[in-house]
Structure 1
Amino acid sequence: MTDIEKRAQEMEEALRADGVRLTRQRSALLQVLAESGDHPDANELHRRAQAVDESVSLATVYRTLTVLEDQGVIHRHAFEGGGARFEAADMPHHDHLIDVETGDVVEFRSDKIEQLQAEIAREYGYELVHHKLELYCRKTSGNGS
């Protein structure tokens, strides 16, 4: 079973655990969510799900996202300057770089940043248990890669 199939199955189980019936429309949405490698908003998820099954309604998208978030299988991100974006909760830890001009979201991981955050917490007498880092940036002329 692929990671995408496992993710879709976990989402199906979360819906059933909440007493939500797995309809054809919800299956289309789960497929889209499981396959997404970006951070789509509800409207983008609706557009993608309709490409799989044109009968998917925006209301179904919102209701399903709420259940999946409540069940802990997706994360809702509320990046500044935009609506909520969604991603699967089983993704390895990462931080986000948000382009303030385009709204593009880039995932990244930096061991240096992770170590520095833990060190700062220790200096103040804390143990770091969770964090969220969002960097809001503008693209420069260089590509930064």
Structure 2
Amino acid sequence: MTPQRRTLLRIFLEEPEHFSAEEFYERVKREDDSIGQATVYRTLKLFTETGLAETLDFGDGRTRYERRWGREHHDHLICIRCRESIEIRVPEIERLQEEVASRHGYKLTDHALYLYGICPKCRGKET
């Protein structure tokens, strides 16, 4: 554990939102400009491989990350226009996913659910 990785870990664990590698690098740079972009990318990859982080695909070609450790499982509603995302927790959906997996002989170990649509703010701009 290098001092740079320790700094990256602390900043990562403090991050409450989804973020891209570029956004994370900008935050890191404001605190410690000696940490390079390659170090940030390698460390995010390490966090993902160890299960500390999760990658997210909101359908816009940018990988986002979020902390898995210490957070409840949730799914996402994503606006296809502005790319705003909302975290959702719906026990009925979780139960149905387990039932579907079971019907097919699977034991779920993980899943990700993305629901795409148009948010109220963007729908309001249509009128």
TM-score by length of 2: 0.80
**C-alpha RMSD of matched pairs (Å):** 2.1
**Contact kept? 1:97, 1:108, Cα under 8 Å:** yes
Task: Kindly report which structure 2 residues correspond to 1:6-85, keeping only aligned pairs within 5 A, or say none.
Answer: 16=1, 22-23=2-3, 25-85=4-64
SS at match of 2:120: coil
Deviant stretches of 4+, over 6 Å: none
Q: Percent identity?
A: 34
Consecutive unaligned residues of structure 2, counting only runs of 5 or more, are none
Shift of 1:48: 0.7
| Stretch deviating more after TM superposition (36-45 or 130-139) | 130-139
Consecutive unaligned residues of structure 1, counting only runs of 5 or more, are 1-15, 17-21
Change (3 A) 1:74 1:57: same
Residue of structure 1 in register with 2:86 after alignment = 106
SS at match of 1:54: coil
SS at match of 2:19: coil
1:73-94: per-residue Cα shift (whole Å, max 9, x none)? 2112233113111112222211
1:53-98: per-residue Cα shift (whole Å, max 9, x none)? 1222211110111122222221122331131111122222111112
Structure with the higher fraction of residues in strand conformation: 2
Residue of structure 2 in register with 1:9 after alignment = none
Q: Does 1:92 align with 2:90?
A: no
TM-score by length of 1: 0.71
Change (3 A) 1:66 1:125: closer
Equivalent pairs counted in the alignment come to: 120
